[in-house]
Amino acid sequence: MIILPAIDLQNGQCVRLRQGVAHDATVYNADPVVQAMEWKNQGAAQLHLVDLDGAFQGKPVHTQVFAAIIRETGLPVEVGGGLRTDADVETLLRLGVERAILGTRALAEPAALERLVKQYGSRIAIGIDARDGFVQIKGWVETSSTRATELAQRVAQLGPVTLIYTDTATDGMLAGPNLKALDELCAAAPGCPVIASGGISAPAHVRALCALDRKNLFGAIVGKALYDGKTTLAELHAARC
């Protein structure tokens, strides 16, 4: 299992939102590139980057910052937030982004999703953000009538696409992941690698993920707990399966 530190960008700064609310942000570093290098120096092998402004505005805002992070760290990165057109996806992948994450569009435009997966394969990832089992879109502003497991099953039919599952009710709350929901999602798409996000804040949470014994549970994203010093990358790495 890989641990991916999260770097969420708002107004050019590295922040964390509480429950995805745009105006409830804590700034942790004014320079995201410096923060990315810090995670690399602590042992990160990959990074999870989110364009929060892009998610709310419906178009990428921090493309040049992502390019700088890739250039300076040399680490594989996955990027999400506001990728609503093919051109947006192509721009990021040309920059050297390892995985471009589709969220809203994956649900709203299934034909486009299929086309992009055929074109880019494993470089496309699907962000499934859910509350009470239902997919949320447009920066968590809207909740759809589609279940997360249903979307996962649809995506799995296209091939082994990485699924990044965020339980929005636990995100940023440091109380642990929604294990039941993650287990159900892994079961719904056994051929897809799954990265867990939301609430992971301690080595015990990583061990709990491992205890699910799902072979496709591939990684875990950690944000607030690392920024607040609740745990360290070294401690989380030591707990991995």
8 A C-beta contact, residue 177 and residue 3: no
C-alpha 200/C-alpha 226 separation (Å) is 10
* 129 catalytic residue (yes or no): yes
C-alpha 96/C-alpha 178 separation (Å) is 32
> E strands along the chain, which residues?
2-10, 13-17, 25-29, 47-51, 77-80, 99-102, 124-131, 134-137, 142-147, 162-167, 194-197, 217-222
Q: Which of 8, 53, 167, 171 is catalytic?
A: 8
> Helix %, strand %, coil % for the chain, to 5?
40, 25, 35
C-alpha 6/C-alpha 197 separation (Å) is 10
Q: Which of 53, 88, 129, 171 is catalytic?
A: 129
Task: Tell me which residue of 154, 148, 118, 108 sits closest to 130, measured CA to CA.
Answer: 148
* 8 catalytic residue (yes or no): yes
Within 157-192, residue ranges assigned H as helices are: 179-188
8 A C-beta contact, residue 178 and residue 198: yes
Within 10 A of 197 (CB to CB), how many other CB atoms are there?
26
Q: Looking at the annotation, which residues are catalytic?
A: 8, 129
